[in-house]
Structure 1
């Protein structure tokens, strides 16, 4: 009996050793690889940010639209490990009774080469129609931190459905320059709004054009789920957003843009946008469909001729080289909805990742966002586009 017991024990030990060796030899299952090296710059534990800009002097500014979060200030400056209201707390106190004199709900901030911070105020809290007399561009002198210019966008450039989204500047034209603004309306026609910064006059181009409109067949898929909201009829409705991301070519001759609800990149000559007499047909005929790039929120360009785009369905940042070829420069599960992009003088591309599709409106009223939201950067070794005034 003792010999049988020893034999059984030996077999048992042998089997155990074999199973252990087999388990140790089993390779780890393949997982999706990351691409590029993204660096966290700042973490947000309060409201959800959208826009970011890196000023030439190194200062960092961000904004927080008033979509429903508790937003104590809609524009802020990152100072060390904290964020402070900019240009001050009083300006950030929304006053619907005097909408021209306060910041209502800011969607984008852009620092220029003239040492100013431009603030694009949608005046559309909770994505509602713009408050009359509140939609505006505000310029702040970064040397004094004082508002030096407020340009109220005229009624002819705005629709009841307008949602001002992003802005780019070319200071070489007109007395003080030109601004190009996207209308990313979730309910009406999209378009490009052109603003003469000297006179404050503004006009719409490509309003309702297919290139500035949401693609009716587009169904975004983020984190494995269709990104949709509950309609009043109980049916799910995919994300609908018109012209959103915007970028100017290094020479300022071309405007690049993309609807939020699309995977295509479009371009149009800026000369036709500035020409108020150019017919809608002529402008539309000049639009080029540059093909698919992935679904994007923000766009940006650098001085070398490259275009950058977020790819919110794939947690990625992509770059279109001057030869037209796309490459993924960052792919990382932490890039949960890359929103605004900004090229800094330090050779980095800055971008916010704000978990936008985890908002309650996309999940039957359940907010799935997990703080913090994050500001990242990635090394690109390029400079920002600078379209400064021509020397006299």
Structure 2
């Protein structure tokens, strides 16, 4: 018989081989990720009422964070998703709910959907103004030290009276953030924030690449309305490629995916009309609430009208990857995890009161799911 060290080494190599082959779970996988659905979709978390997730962000150490969609009326603004379908208010009791007038520097989140991790431990919240605090904000939270990192204010006239700061892309290479401002549709624009100086500018307002197209948002046979009118939503999905060369975006109510070089967005000498000439149409896509991208130029799409997730490849062609009427009932936002999977938050948003004649027909659970990327990507998008 050989010694115990031999058997320990043999067991170690067998374990590594099984992880590589996908036979056992690696430490990067959530503890309940084994709940597999058809087409390789895995359920990461099933969340109760009050946790109607919006967008999602994942840090380099695998922590999962979600904004909570205000359309459902929850008092919470953001959560951390923990193993075993558990959550905790995030960042803390002061910042995870609405601000109070007595709070120093208005601690708290007014109305946050956009949430993104920068790959260096900072979680960025994109916070909308409200009637008591008419300034948008970018709020950086240090997830390693659990302290406030930075607040950048986005005041008028940088934002309009009908501003709706929806989503963001972080340019870790050039120290910038790009924001999608839906702004009532016809006033939609991108906002470019220089993190080195805090200076920001509004670009491409009313360009065809940011305003909604005249197409109906039909989900489960129902034409979705915002108030009395059919929903027509401007620029919302936005992401940045792993090389930080291109920003990809488009109106939610749109059939085209656009892109523009980051160097052009950051060039303050390029006026708006000339900047619009540098926008490229990348390809086809359906009505979408969120996008992300891998290193081969595959842009993943939340295909909300088909209860699906799809991809537009670098040829510009769109195809559906996964379709599931129950599990993919309004996939909202994406995040790339450190394990090579793409994560998504699913929230049944079309069943929320503002989009459903004042009634909440959504039913728990609300899901965080994941699926394997077509090609490798990196966290922070």
TM tier relative to shorter chain = 0.7 to 0.9
More deviation, 38-47/93-102? 93-102
For 1:60, the equivalent position in structure 2 comes to: 64
Offset of 1:108 from its aligned partner?
A: 1.8
For 2:134, the equivalent position in structure 1 comes to: 132
Please give the residue correspondences for 1:249-288 in structure 2 after superposition, counting only pairs within 5 Å.
Answer: 249-288=241-280
For 2:199, the equivalent position in structure 1 comes to: 201
Q: Which has the larger radius of gyration?
A: 1
Contact 1:162 1:188 in 2 (8 A): no
For 2:295, the equivalent position in structure 1 comes to: 303
Q: 1:260-296 CA distances to partner (integer Å, 9 max, x unpaired)?
A: 1112211122222111121111111111223421111
Contact 1:96 1:131 in 2 (8 A): no
More deviation, 379-388/79-88? 379-388
Q: 1:35-54 CA distances to partner (integer Å, 9 max, x unpaired)?
A: 72211111221232111112
Asked whether 1:120 is paired with 2:126, we answer yes
Q: 1:199-246 CA distances to partner (integer Å, 9 max, x unpaired)?
A: 21110110111110011x211110011112442xxxxx1112110000
Q: 1:311-346 CA distances to partner (integer Å, 9 max, x unpaired)?
A: 111111112233433332211112001100111111
Asked whether 1:360 is paired with 2:353, we answer yes
Unaligned runs of 5+ in 1: 1-33, 232-236
For 2:90, the equivalent position in structure 1 comes to: 86
Contact 2:283 2:312 in 1 (8 A): no
Counterpart CA distance in 2 for 1:243 and 1:226 is: 20
For 1:225, the equivalent position in structure 2 comes to: 222
More deviation, 196-205/324-333? 324-333
If the length of structure 2 is used for normalisation, what is the TM-score? Answer: 0.84
If the length of structure 1 is used for normalisation, what is the TM-score? Answer: 0.81
Contact 1:40 1:377 in 2 (8 A): yes
For 2:114, the equivalent position in structure 1 comes to: 108
User: 61, 73, 76: which is aligned to 2:79?
Assistant: 76
Counterpart CA distance in 1 for 2:88 and 2:139 is: 18
| 3-state SS, counterpart of residue 289 of structure 2 | coil
User: 232, 235, 255: which is aligned to 1:243?
Assistant: 235
User: 317, 335, 343: which is aligned to 2:336?
Assistant: 343
Runs of at least 4 residues off by over 6 Å: none
Please give the residue correspondences for 1:11-30 in structure 2 after superposition, counting only pairs within 5 Å.
Answer: none
For 1:39, the equivalent position in structure 2 comes to: 42
Offset of 1:118 from its aligned partner?
A: 1.1
Counterpart CA distance in 2 for 1:199 and 1:191 is: 21
Q: 1:84-124 CA distances to partner (integer Å, 9 max, x unpaired)?
A: 01121122232253564322121121112212111111234
Contact 2:335 2:380 in 1 (8 A): no
What number of residue pairs does the alignment pair up?
340
